[in-house]
Amino acid sequence: MNLSAVDLNLFLVLHAVLETGSATGAARQLHVTQSAVSNALARLRDVLGDPLLVRSGRGLVPTPRCEALRPLITSAVMQLQAAVEGQRFDPEESTRQFTLSCGDNQDICDLPLIVEAFSRRMPRARLRVVSIDYVVANDGLVTGDVDVALAPQQVAAREGFHFEPLYLDALAFVVRKDHPRIRGTTLTKESFAAAQHVDMNVAQGRPGVGHRIFEQFMKEHGLERHVALVVSHFVAAGTAASRTDYVAGMPGRTADALCAMLPLKRLELTPNPGPMVMALIWHERTHADPGSRCFRELVIDTLRDGSVPRRPPAARPSRRAS
């Protein structure tokens, strides 16, 4: 028998009859008439050459052939239903691995909070954290190797990318507490120009989005700086500043965290470039996946601080920046 010549809806009708025990019940479940159910059963009997269901009293009793078909039809219907609805995801039972990409500044400020929430809500799953270098080198969001990334919102300005704003993070600077020339907590235009600076190249040895934004800000405000050291991690920048007279710029949350761990003090630049929107970013490839969606919600619930509005649920993917 050629399967392509068989109306597979006939098996859905048989499945409904077997579930409900009657043609009337199947008709209600399928939202069709009882005569439509009877006609479908008659066609399936002709296809399979078996009565399938015989009347016994007021009910229908399956034949041996029908009993043999029952588990096969039930399994097929369940698999088709899962394909249509999407696989259900149970966070408490899942043993899946989820991958997050972030910089070492998020390792300090955000990752501890995410790990705490992850251990509670997905106790059997595994969390994998990779660097910015990794996700850039492998295009990990597009390939699906990486579920989400923590990055400035501007990173999502590519075709097929989604994002959710999480919080604002202002630019700050750190110097060692006993710096001989910089007193107080303000970095003026003059003290900024006179200092030696630590610069950051966070992605494969190249400047990131924040670096480019600040370069434009310096150009607009006539600021100049002398770079004495270039590093790829904010912790390295803070550590270098704590042992030298260098000035290191970084996100304000990271500056606060490093000041609590190292002999550093935080400085505010005057004029100030204003805060940057940090976001959770993912690709269209994983957008509809129930597990990825659950993981995204966990991160969003953990990190959103109310300083930025949440995007509407029906928001479209970001388009390529012009």
Beta bridge partners of 186: 268
Q: Encoding tokens for residue 109?
A: 């400020």
Q: What is the C-alpha separation between 249 and 256, in angstroms, rounded?
A: 12
CA pseudo-torsion sign 25, 30, 33, 37: negative
Phi, psi (5° rounding) for residue 141? -70, -40
Helix 23-30 vs helix 34-48: angle between axes, to the nearest 10 degrees? 110
How far apart, in Å, do the first and last CA atoms of the chain sit?
Answer: 57
Q: Could you give the CA distance from residue 312 to residue 315 in angstroms, rounded to a whole number? A: 5
Angle, to 10 degrees, between the axis of helix 111-121 and the axis of helix 290-303? 130
Domains of the chain listed by start with CATH number: 3-85 (1.10.10.10), 97-168+277-303 (3.40.190.10), 171-274 (3.40.190.10)
Inter-residue long-range contacts of 212-219, CB under 8 Å, 24+ positions, other chains counted? 213/152, 213/154, 213/273, 213/276, 214/171, 214/249, 214/273, 217/273
Pairing of strands 247-251, 171-176: antiparallel
Per-residue pLDDT of the chain (322 residues; tens, 9 = 90+): 567 778 889 999 999 998 888 888 889 889 999 999 999 999 999 999 999 998 877 678 889 999 999 888 888 887 787 677 666 789 999 999 999 999 999 999 999 999 999 999 999 999 999 999 899 888 889 888 899 999 999 988 888 899 999 999 999 999 999 999 999 999 999 999 999 999 998 877 777 788 888 999 999 999 999 999 999 999 999 999 999 999 999 999 999 999 999 999 999 999 888 899 999 999 998 898 889 999 999 999 999 998 887 777 644 444 443 3
Closest CA relative to residue 60, chosen from 80, 45, 46, 81:
45
Amino acid 277: pLDDT: 94
Whole-structure pTM value: 0.72
CA dist 129 and 282 (Å) reads 15
Report phi then psi at 226, rounded to 5.
Answer: -105, 115
